[in-house]
Amino acid sequence: MKDFEGIKGEVWTRLASEAIEAQNRAYAPYSDFAVGAALLLDDGSIVHGCNVENATFGATVCAERTAVGSAVALGKRKFLAIAVVTPADSCVAPCGICRQVLAEFSEKLPILLSNNAGEHEFVTIDELLPHRFRKSDFV
> How remote is the C-alpha of 52 from its chain's centroid?
14
Q: Evaluate whether residue 44 is within a structural domain.
A: yes
- Residue 86: phi and psi, rounded to 5, are -130, 165
Residue 58, domain extent: 9-90+106-120
Q: Evaluate whether residue 35 is within a structural domain.
A: yes
Q: Evaluate whether residue 14 is within a structural domain.
A: yes
Q: Let me know if 132 is exposed, middle or buried by CB neighbors in 10 A (0-12, 13-18, 19+).
A: middle
pLDDT at 137 > cutoff 90: no
Catalytic residue from among 5, 21, 53, 64: 64
Q: Evaluate whether residue 125 is within a structural domain.
A: no
Q: Evaluate whether residue 133 is within a structural domain.
A: no
- Provide the annotated binding site for Zn(2+): 62, 95, 98
Domain count, the chain: 1
Q: State the CATH number of the domain containing residue 85.
A: 3.40.140.10
pLDDT tens for residues 77-102? 999 999 999 999 999 999 999 999 99
Q: Evaluate whether residue 3 is within a structural domain.
A: no
Cβ contacts of 30 within 8 Å, gap of 6 or more:
53, 55, 57
- Answer yes or no: 18 catalytic: no
Q: Evaluate whether residue 80 is within a structural domain.
A: yes
What is d(CA 86, CA 134) in angstroms, rounded to the nearest whole number?
28
- Provide the annotated binding site: 62, 95, 98
pLDDT tens for residues 16-72? 999 999 999 999 999 999 999 999 999 999 999 999 999 999 999 999 999 999 999
Q: What is the pTM of this model?
A: 0.95
What element of type H or E holds 70?
A: helix 63-73
Q: Evaluate whether residue 74 is within a structural domain.
A: yes
